[in-house]
Amino acid sequence: MKRFLLNGFAAFAVVAMLMASQPALAATYEDVNPAADLIILRPVGLVMLVGGTVFMAPVGLWTLLVRPSEMDVPFDTFMKRPFEYTFIDPLGSH
């Protein structure tokens, strides 16, 4: 059981680090080589989308309890922006 918790925490830490680095990358680079965007940044965006979907469940429930009128805020942050980043934005725009 202890090993399972440690592995879960390690996975959480990796996803959190990847999600935290995305705004830094976006603020640093204006135009990126499309090949680097496709090979490096889009898979990171996919990981952010999966991690955001996992985080959306508890955050969404909490938001529904505290401020139901602002349900779009965590949805935009955890799911919409990573989806657009990964699948909609043109290559090389990050």
3-state SS record for 1-16: CHHHHHHHHHHHHHHH
- What's the mean pLDDT when you consider all of the chain? 81
Q: Is residue 62 part of a domain?
A: yes
Q: In the chain, which stretches have pLDDT less than 70?
A: 17-31, 94
Range of the domain at 40: 2-88
Q: Is residue 94 part of a domain?
A: no
Structure tokens at 90: 């043109």
Are 48 and 22 in contact by the 8 Å Cβ rule? The answer is yes
The per-residue pLDDT for 83 is 93
Query: What is the total count of domains within the chain?
Result: 1
Q: Is residue 69 part of a domain?
A: yes
Q: Is residue 37 part of a domain?
A: yes
The per-residue pLDDT for 7 is 78
